[in-house]
Amino acid sequence: MLSLGGTRPLTNRWMLYASEATGKWEALRMDLRTYASQLLTDATALDPQSLSFQAGEKGFWHFDGGRLIETIFSSNKKTREIYRTPAGFEKLPGAGYFPDGRIAVFVEKSGSGYRLQAVDLVRGTARALIEEPEEMSHVLPRPKRTAVLYRTQGAWWLVDTGSGEKQKLALAEGEILQCDWSADGNTLLYLNRPADPKKLVAIREFAPEAGKDSWVTNTSQFVAFSANADGSVFCGASGGKASPYVLLLARAVKREFTLAEHKAMDPRMVAPLFTPNSQSLLFQSDRHGKPAIYWMAVEKFVAETEGS
């Protein structure tokens, strides 16, 4: 299996991903110019959903079991344990990192419930932002804000990392397939499957400060999506068996363009992503019998955006 997950797995030059090719999950870094990969870890229980580049690609973070580890890219590849989940708690899969590289957030479980834990990535100090009796998941730091998105049994919440105050988000009815913040952090973009099977899966947008939810565009039954850096174009994976496509969707004209067939057994694994400059697109598929990551140039279709 492969995983192109985590908070910041892509730059214009590098890709951070996880692979089970050795029989256990390990982190690797690929040069997108030469396609050569470098093994980065010798982990015991690497969490593939916890990978993230640091700013400037000087290093990366990951969890190995309950240990949060920082690795600096250098000739001797320096590593540092930042945090360790205490006895009586279990760290759940996934982690989020604020873009400024100051705080990591993740969920821990104990016999009494769940807590959203925040760790200072410089000092290594930790504190619980909020505790819930229900399972917490889908932790997503809000860019350029001191807030974190999380989910409990179908409800979506925003908690302030400073005050601890939380806000329930009034998202549209139906199933939320995926959420992601806009690059400026102003709005939450999400993929909504209406309860009515006759209606199309839509991309919607929620503005927390205004409490306003709005329709952006319908899709050809996307099950996964992402936006480019300026939010002008979306890439998506169609879940239809008759049309297993990777598509571009122009926001202004609300028109889709087919790029390729993904033919993945589970379309949700496709998880397409733009590079920061919007000139390339990566996605996952097992179309040739085993999981692989595919790269496509899209500079003919998408204007270049600023990004590292």
Using the CB atoms, write b or e for 184-209: b if 16+ within 10 Å: eebbbbbbbbeeeeeeebbbbbbebe
Contact in structure between 63 and 18 (CB atoms under 8 Å): no
Long-range contacts of the stretch 208-212 (C-beta < 8 A, 24+):
208/147, 208/158, 208/167, 208/169, 211/170
CA atoms within 13 A on the CB side of 299: 6
Average confidence score pLDDT of the chain:
94
CB contact set of 99 (below 8 Å; sequence gap of 6+): 8, 55, 141, 143, 144
- The radius of gyration of the chain from alpha carbons, rounded to an integer in Å, stands at 19
Q: Alpha-carbon distance 32 to 274, whole Å? A: 13
66-118 pLDDT tens trace = 999 999 998 778 999 999 999 999 999 999 999 899 999 999 999 999 999 99
Cα–Cα distance list, 245 to 42, 223, 235 (Å)? 36, 11, 10
183-195 pLDDT tens trace = 999 999 999 999 9
The pLDDT of 294-299, averaged and rounded, is 94
Q: Alpha-carbon distance 54 to 6, whole Å? A: 12
Contact in structure between 15 and 30 (CB atoms under 8 Å): yes
Query: Domains in the chain and their CATH numbers?
Result: 1-73 (no CATH), 169-308 (2.130.10.10)
Q: Lowest mean pLDDT: which of 100-104, 171-175, 239-243, 265-269?
A: 239-243
Give the pTM.
0.93
Contact in structure between 15 and 293 (CB atoms under 8 Å): yes
